[in-house]
Amino acid sequence: MSAPDIERRGAVAGVTASGRTLSGYAATFGTPAAIGGFTERIAPGAFRASLASGRDVLALLDHRADALLGRTRSGSLKLSEDAKGLHFELQLPDTAAARDVTALAERGDLGGMSFGFVATDESWDGNTRELRAVELHEVSIVQSWPAYQQTEINLRSKPFENEPRNNNYLWLSTL
């Protein structure tokens, strides 16, 4: 599928930095986002089928295919869906783009997270679109202004080792 056919959505995020692993939420469920002339929400379970399909999902910088940061096929990007949304964990490579992301994260300058998708099941209620199922193509670190106003992102030196995800870890979100 070519890039113009893929819809993209993003979210503002707070960032803390202490290493080369980026993690958090690329999308959250039930959060309204103003998209042009309509409002959009993501339903719980919207990513389930796409993740179960085993498709290769890319991690990009600003949706740019020439700024690859990782992918599920290699294991450098891990994605899962939980009650809150689409959780990701990204092992950043030693590339110029990843070094830039790390520097921006350490300063708190990143804009948030985003995702590229094709809607496979949606419903409309007046001016509100609900995404019930999507074919996920990529998640992106966004340096500027994404559409959704809530995600969580954290940069750390070590992956979680049998630690539950909860608010005791430096997860930040913009409300």
Determine the structural domain holding residue 73 and report its residue range. 3-156
What was the pLDDT predicted at 88? Answer: 92
* Phi and psi at residue 10, to the nearest 5°: -140, 175
- Domain assignment present for residue 173? The answer is no
- Domain assignment present for residue 164? The answer is no
* DSSP conformation class of 7: E
- Domain assignment present for residue 148? The answer is yes
- Domain assignment present for residue 174? The answer is no
> What's the total number of domains in the chain?
1
* Strand extents, DSSP E, 94-127: 112-125
- Report pTM: 0.76
- Domain assignment present for residue 170? The answer is no
- Domain assignment present for residue 126? The answer is yes
- Domain assignment present for residue 166? The answer is no
- Domain assignment present for residue 165? The answer is no
Q: Which positions of the chain have pLDDT values less than 70?
A: 1-19, 144-175
- Take residue 130 and report the two structure tokens written for it: 């609900």
In terms of DSSP bridges, do strands 64-71 and 58-61 run parallel, antiparallel, or are they unpaired? antiparallel
* Phi and psi at residue 167, to the nearest 5°: -75, 0
Cα–Cα dist 87/1, whole Å: 24
